[in-house]
Amino acid sequence: MARIADVNYSAAVLQWDQETYLPPNAANFRAGQLSSLSGLIHNLFTGEKTAAILKGLESNGTLTDHQKKNLELIKLEFEKQKKYTTEFVEQMSHAVSAAFNAWQLAKKENNFKLYAPHLEKLIGFKKKECELLGYEGHPYNAMLDLHEKKCTVAELDALFADVRKQLVPFVKKIFAAKQVDNAFFYRHYDHNKQWDFGLGLLQQMGFDFKRGRQDISSHPFTTTLSPDDVRVTTRINEKDLSEMIWSCIHEGGHALYEQGLLPEYYGMPLGEAISLGIHESQSRLWENNVGRSLAYWKGNFKHAAQYFPEELKDVTPEAFFKGMNRVEPSLIRTNSDELTYHFHVMIRYEIEKAIFEDKLKVDELPAYWNAKYKEYLNIDVPSDTQGVLQDVHWSHGSFGYFPTYSLGSFYAAQFYEQASKEIKDLPGKVEAGDLSELLAWLRAKVHVHGRFYTAQELCERITGEKLNFNHFMSYAQNKFGTIYDLK
């Protein structure tokens, strides 16, 4: 498994490079390289040697509980991967690379039609993948299971029904309240100073720069090449300070999870993250529950003011806190506030469901997207770049991924509430800039377990109950009720 991981992470280096430093004309060869490595990984994992090892271990009576869990999870993955042919794996990898390069160009040119044929081909592969994997109920369940094990359309429909029933009316109350000022975020902030400030925020969180690095990309992401090599990227906009701050803290949360996985399980399920929902809980916990809190900026505002004394000279920590939590309709998911963010996710969820129900064609996507934004957020989408082309996910073939963003936020609220009960004066420690105890709590509660538990099992183990949307609503009402003076 370690040997297979070596090849897998070698491919990850090429993917990371593709999104950061790849020369424009190198795209075709890179697609071929990734396709070949994907086929090699598939052959290594599904070959007779792996089958023989698994069969031999099944009758071994000396395995520990952790070894048994590794064996169980590897066998499940082996049986799943055997459903794919090497040819299919290589072809889909090539289609992903082509779609990603087409997406980059289409976004730059603000022209969805440049991307559409590549996306249509990739969706064809994903639909075929659903049939290869098999599913119960909705075909989209096969896609969801790739990112969040055992998650179903039925569960998500119920969860988003809660969002509509509780969160939507609450946001409408906020829209009717007096708006907070955030204009100071859109002054001119020097690129290099932003970069240095972001590095400081990562360091304060506990990101180990001897085991990772940060770079720039058009869409911030985290890539793991080993437990001792975790790469994050950020995005810097000199006319919007918030883009860098939330990119750094969000991706830093993902990276801390990866750096907290046990290196002795390299290549094994117990050395991997549980699910994308739990992964997202770590990034959203750091970004929202910590990074958008008043305590965090009571401590960190002085550092921001040192980097940007003129830009922030008329701003207080309290005003900075309120401004960063401004709730309003917006076009871009990654720049949206933490409440309307879930409307963005719902839109993508409904679109993906419709695609896999064969109710929505690729060439209909821009108009459908724009109509959904009008319905949920009452805003007009001015361009493809700010609309249907804004996310990288579909060009990666990552259908079923978006719902994990909302799941992660809801897990994060539940986890942070529990951490606040177990860590004495957590807000005081956050204000003092001491985040070490929170990181240690997350290491012990989440990171070290790898995939030993399912997401729901882990949630129950940490908080005493399965995922409960009411914890997020309670957090939202307390925080935003205060910011907007809601009675």
Give me the pLDDT at residue 218, please: 80
Helix (H) or strand (E) holding 233: strand 229-234
For residue 148, indicate whether it is catalytic: no
| Mean pLDDT of all residues in 135-154 | 95
The model's pLDDT over 97-120, given as tens digits with 9 standing for 90+, comes to 999 999 999 999 999 999 999 999
- CB of 229 within 8 A of CB of 277? no
Banded pLDDT at 373 (limits 50, 70, 90) = very high
Q: What is the pLDDT of residue 209?
A: 98
The pLDDT of residue 173 is: 96
Catalytic member of 251, 287, 338, 431: 251
Q: How confident is the model at residue 24 (pLDDT cuts 50, 70, 90)?
A: confident
What pLDDT shows up at residue 365? 98
CATH number assigned to the domain with residue range 153-483, chosen from the 4 options 3.90.1150.10, 2.60.40.420, 3.50.50.60, 1.10.1370.30: 1.10.1370.30
Taking only the tens place, the pLDDT of each residue in 162-217 is 999 999 999 999 999 999 999 999 999 999 999 999 999 999 999 999 999 999 98
What tens digit of pLDDT does each residue of 212-245 get? 999 998 889 999 999 999 999 999 999 999 999 9
Whether residue 342 is predicted with pLDDT greater than 90 in this model: the reply is yes
Please report the pLDDT score of residue 41 as a whole number.
95
pLDDT digits (tens, 9 = 90+) for 25-37: 998 899 899 999 9
Helix or strand holding residue 214 (H, E): strand 212-216
Domain range list for the chain: 2-46+83-134, 153-483
The answer to whether 325 and 480 have CB atoms below 8 angstroms apart is yes
The dihedral region occupied by 425, where left means phi > 0, alpha psi between -120 and 50, and beta the remainder, is left
User: What's the whole-number mean pLDDT along residues 71-94?
Assistant: 94
Confidence class for position 71, pLDDT limits 50, 70, 90: very high
Residue with the two structure tokens 């988003």: 160
| 386/323 Cα distance (integer angstroms) | 23
Task: Provide the pLDDT for residue 145.
Answer: 94
User: Tell me, what's the pLDDT at 335?
Assistant: 83
pLDDT at 189: 98
pLDDT band at residue 459 under the 50/70/90 scheme: very high
Across the range 258-285, mean pLDDT stands at 97
133, 142 contact by CB (below 8 A)? yes
Percent of the chain with pLDDT over 70: 100
468 pLDDT above the threshold of 90: yes
Q: Which residues pair with 214 in a beta bridge?
A: 232
- Residue 10 structure tokens: 């070698």
Sign of CA dihedral 37, 39, 45, 47: negative
Mean pLDDT of the chain: 96
In whole angstroms, give the CA distance from residue 285 to residue 253: 8
Residue reference for tokens 């997406």? 103
Strand partners, 234: 216
Supply the pLDDT for residue 487. Answer: 76
The neighbouring-strand residues paired with 233 are: 215
**Mean pLDDT over residues 463-472, rounded?**
97
Q: What is the mean pLDDT of residues 392-397?
A: 94
Q: What is the pLDDT of residues 401-427, one digit of tens each?
A: 999 999 999 999 999 999 999 999 999
Facing residues of 230 across strands? 212, 224
pLDDT digits (tens, 9 = 90+) for 51-62: 999 999 999 999
Looking up tokens 């290869």 gives 132
Query: Which of the four pLDDT bands, split at 50, 70 and 90, describes residue 467?
Result: very high
